[in-house]
Chain A
Amino acid sequence: MPTGAALAFQLDHARARDAVNAVFEPDGLAEAIGREVIVVRSQAADREEYLRRPNLGRRLHPDDGAMLPTDGCDLAIVIADGLSAAAVHGHAASLALAIIGRLEGWRIGPVIATQQARVAIGDPVGEIMKAELVCVLIGERPGLSSPDSLGAYLTWQPRTGRKDSERNCVSNIRPPHGLSYDDAADTIVRLLKAARARQITGVALKDGEDLIGGGEQ
C-alpha cells in the first residue's frame, strides 16, 4: 500500500473517530434557529456507557422530563448527538430552519437538544410534550469518508415503546456530498404532512404511496 494512500485511510478513520467521540455543544443553537432550545440528557452518563448500553441512550434522564413543556404541539423537533456530534454541529440548525420554514400554521414547540441520545429518545420527549409528531435530527454512524452525516426520523404519536418500523427516515443529509438542506426538508415535510393526513408513520406510510419520489435513495 503506497504511503499516501495508507495515510489518507488513517485520516478518514481519525475523522470518523473524532466525530464519534466529539461532545455535542448545544450553545448557539437557539440563536441559529431563532427559537427557545431546551437541553435534556439521556440516561447514559458518558460516551462509553452510551456505546455499551444502547437502551440508556433511548431513555430520558428522570430529572429532565420536568423541563419540557406539556401544553401540546403539532410537531416536536429533537436534535440528538447520536453517533456524530460533528453532523449535528454542521447541519442540525440549518435543517431545522428549513423544516420550520416550510410548516406555516403548525404549532411547533421549543427545540429539544439531547446529549448521549439515540433515535428513540424522541418517544418519551414527544410523549411528555403531547406532540402529535416528533422529528429527531440525529448524527448517523460515521462511515469512513462520511463523518458528518445527519439523519431525520419521524414518528407519529411518539410514546415509549414505539418500534423502528413505526418511523420514517431520511438519511445521508450532509451537503455538499449528500442530501442538501432544501431537498431533505422537502422530503421531510412531505412525509410529515402525509403522516398527519393518514395519522401514521412507518412502513405503512411508504407502502402504496410514492411520497419519497427521487428525494431519497
Chain B
Amino acid sequence: MAEYSVSTGSTLHRFADLKTLLAAASPPRSGDELAGIAAGSAEERVAARMVLADLPLTTFLEDLVIPYEDDEITRLIVDDRDGDAFAPVAAMTVGEFREWLLDNATTGEMIASVSRGLMPEMAAAVAKLMRNQDLVLAARKVRVVTAFRNTLGLPGRFSTRLQPNHPRDDTMGIAASTVDGILMGAGDAVIGINPVSENVGTTGDLLRLLDDIREGLAIPTQTCVLAHATTTLDLVRRGAPVDLCFQSIAGTEGANRGFGINLALLREAQDATMSLKRGTVGQDCMYFETGQGSCLSADAHHGVDQQTLEARAYGVARHFKPLLVNSVVGFIGPEYLYDGKQITRAALEDHFCGKLLGLPMGLDICYTNHAEADGDDMDAALTMTALAGVNFIMGVPGADDVMLGYQSTSFHDALYVREALGLAPAPEFEEWLTEQGLWRDGKSVEPEGLALPDRMLALANGHG
C-alpha cells in the first residue's frame, strides 16, 4: 500500500488511504463537509493535491476506494477496464496526466483512445488538480457523438432536452410547453417528461402523446417519459412507443439499491428497449441521470467524496453506451452544493469527467431556492460548460420547473448560447427547423402565423 504524505515545510500532512486523500484534495463543498471527510484546513487541501499530483496512475489499480468484493460497481469498473488502452498513460503520475490532457499536442482522439483504459477514480483525481479553465479546455477537445433519430454531440452543435413537466401530468399543459419549446428550437436531444405518476397507464398515455406529436410532424428527435426502468420494461411489454430507457444511477451498489436498480436490471431494460429498434440514424437508447451527493443522500458513500462517487456513476453509464447522460447539478440542495460557486465547479467537473470517460455528457444546470445561487450564477455555469462543449442542457419554459420545484435553464438560455457561441442544433433537427421556418442562416426565427402550433395542439387534443 502506498504511503500518502507530504511536508509543506512547517507541517507533515498524512492521509490514511487513497479515498481519504481524494476527499481532502477535493475543492470545498458542503456535501463532503456534511459527510465529515473534507480537508480540515485550506493548507491540508493543497497538501493533499500535492500528494495526489505525484501519485502514479497505477496506484488506483491497487488501492480501490471501495473494495472489489463489497460493491458491484467496483467490480464493473475493474472488469470493464481495457488495459491495452491504458498503455499510453500507464507510466504517468496524476499531475503528469493533467499536463498531458492540457498539452496542445494531445488531441481529442488521443484522449478518447485512452478513455476505456481509465478508471473513473483516475478521472476524478485529475479533475481535483485542475482549475475551472483546465476543465473547460480538456473537455472541449473530446467530442462524444451518439445517434438515435438524429446525431448528437458533433462539433459546432449544442442540443437541448425539452422538459415540459406539469404538476398534474396534464396533457394540454404538457403540449403547450412542448409547442413553446419546439418553436424556440428546443428538443433535439430528447423531449422528456418527468411524470408525477409512475403508474404504467399514465406514463403510457404520456408516451403516446409525445409520440403522436413527433410522428405527426415528422420531427427528427426522440421522446421519453422519465419513469423508473421497471416501469419502462412494463411499457415495452405492453407495446408502448418507447424510444429511450431512462434511469437515475449512482456510483455505489448501495445507492443504486436505493434507486431500486442493479446492473442486471439495467441490462434487461436496455435489451428490451433496444429490441424495439425505433432509432433511424442510430440505436443508442439509454438515458441516464446522475448528480453529486446521491450516494451520501442514500447513506451509501463508503467515506468516498461526492465528486469521485459521481465519476463512478459514469463508470456505470459508459458500460451501456447511452445516447444521453446528464448530471443534475444543483437540484439536490445546499447541504451538498452550497452556492453558485460550488454548483459551477461541480458542473465543470462532471462534464469533464464524463467526456474523459467517453460519455455524451449533458448537464441540468440548476438551483433550488434555498441554495445561495441565482440566475447570474447559472449564466456563468452555462457559458463555461457550453464553451467546454457540453452536448446538451435542459430547456424548461421560463426556467421554472413547476412540477419539480426548481429552476433550470430555459429555452431562451439555450438560444443565448447558440447565438453567443455560434452553435447550431443537431443537423437533422436543424434541417427540420429550417423547413418549418423556425431557423434561418444559423439563427432561430419566430414562426410566421399559427399553422404549426395549431397542428401540434390538434395532435395533442385527442389525448385529453
Contacts and interface: CB of A to CB of B under 8 A. Distances in A.
A144 interface: yes
7 contacts: A13-B407, A17-B369, A17-B374, A20-B369, A51-B370, A52-B33, A52-B334
Interface in A116-171: 141-145, 147
A53 B36 CA distance: 11
Interface stretch (B209-217, B273-281, B394-402): B394-402
Q: What are the nearest 4 A-B pairs in CB distance?
A: A16-B369, A143-B405, A144-B400, A142-B369
Contacts of B167: 217
Say what secondary structure dominates the interface of chain A: helix
Contacts of A52: 30, 33-34, 334-335, 338
A17 B370 CA distance: 7
B368 interface: yes
A138 to B, nearest CB: 13
Contact of B370 (A1, A141, A217): A141
Given A12-B400, A54-B34, 12 more contacts: A9-B375, A9-B400, A13-B374, A16-B369, A20-B370, A52-B34, A52-B334, A53-B335, A141-B368, A141-B370, A143-B405, A144-B407
Contacts of B370: 20, 51, 83, 141-142
A5 interface: yes
Nearest to B336: A52
Contacts of B398: 5, 9
Nearest to A20: B370
A52 B338 CA distance: 7
Contacts, number: 53
A9 B30 CA distance: 27
Nearest to B400: A144
B168 interface: yes
A9 B368 contact: no
Nearest to A140: B405
Interface string B174-199: 00000000000000000000000000
Interface of A: 1, 5, 9-10, 12-13, 16-17, 19-20, 51-54, 83, 141-145, 147, 217
B412 interface: yes
A83 B371 CA distance: 11
Nearest to A146: B405
A214 to B, nearest CB: 13
A16 B412 CA distance: 22
Contacts of B374: 13, 17
A217 B403 CA distance: 13
Interface in B18-41: 30, 33-34
B369 A53 contact: no
A55 to B, nearest CB: 8
A13 B412 contact: no
B168 A13 contact: no
A1 B369 contact: no
A143 B338 contact: no
Contacts of B405: 141, 143-144
Contacts of B375: 9-10, 13
In this complex, the member of B167, B369, B402, B407 whose beta carbon has the largest number of chain A beta carbons within 10 angstroms is B369
Contacts of A1: 410, 412
B426 to A, nearest CB: 24
